[in-house]
Amino acid sequence: MFLPPNVDTQDPVLTTAAAARLLGVAVSTTQLWLESGALPSWKTPGGHRRVRLSAVMALLEEKARRSQAGSAAAPALDPADPEFQPSPAPGYPQPANEAARLSALQASCLVDSDSETVFDRLTWLATQVTDCPIALISLLTSRRQWFKSRVGLEVAETPREWAFCSHAILQPAPFMVEDASLDARFANNPLVTGAPHVRFYGGVPVAGAGGHALGTLCVLDREPRRLRERELRALTELATIASEELRRRTR
């Protein structure tokens, strides 16, 4: 839909190519960021994307801020980084918009970022309202499932192929597995056959800029179970808060 911008000579309108030059990435990468919502934009009547200079500068400043804060592991905006490119032969289900989803995740600079109290409070609350021993806020690259926050689990990430959350991001509704050992999709998963011996999984997608599911807020238990209605509602509300926090970091 065409959204004509307000006239502002102090904040010029840029073409996709001009934005790409400023960002130092390929035009194709910039197009993905525009389509995914990582860079706010609009379409002209002719179908061409346009973006404000301020939006491009905000993305560059966010990257610089994280670097100056000492987040040395924060990902560079490298269009060739295979971790943010769809896998050609994935051993897990992929959403139809995987390319745009990964592009939005890369632009967010969230993967490998420092822990944040606001997310740690949400995972702690998730364990309390569901009585599950493990709660995670996961972010899914094409190669791994990295935990922005975790309670009850030592490891900070797992291979993407092991991620129950790959199934959870395929739908907007909560995804539940009552007994993973009896589910053909997960019975041979290393997280089921070995530590932490997952039996129950309950995950709700969390979305960043553009509405793309970057990962989930999920709870796990070592015993088969199901969530009661009030527990499921509480988990869903916490996931909504997590999404709001993610969008603040990816707008």
pLDDT in tens, 88-112: 889 999 999 999 999 989 988 899 9
> What does the angle CA 145 – CA 151 – CA 156 come to, to the nearest 5 degrees?
35
Q: Give tens-digit pLDDT for 159-184.
A: 999 999 999 999 989 999 999 999 99
In the chain, pLDDT over 90 holds for what percent of residues? 59
Residue 188: burial class (beta carbons within 10 Å; 0-12, 13-18, 19+): exposed
Q: Give tens-digit pLDDT for 2-54.
A: 344 444 456 788 898 888 777 777 676 677 677 767 778 888 888 888 988 88
> Three-class SS of residue 184?
coil
Q: Give tens-digit pLDDT for 191-243.
A: 999 999 999 999 999 998 788 999 999 999 999 999 999 999 999 999 999 99
In the chain, pLDDT over 70 holds for what percent of residues? 85
Report the alpha-carbon distance of residue 199 to residue 203 in Å, rounded: 13
Check: CB of residue 212 under 8 Å from CB of residue 36. Answer: yes
Give the pairing type, strands 49-52 and 42-43: antiparallel
Domains and CATH numbers, the chain: 1-70 (1.10.1660.10), 117-250 (3.30.450.40)
Give the residues across from 43 on adjacent strands: 2, 49
DSSP letter (8 states) at residue 114: P
pTM over 0.85? The answer is no
| Averaged pLDDT score across all residues of the chain | 87
Report the alpha-carbon distance of residue 15 to residue 25 in Å, rounded: 14
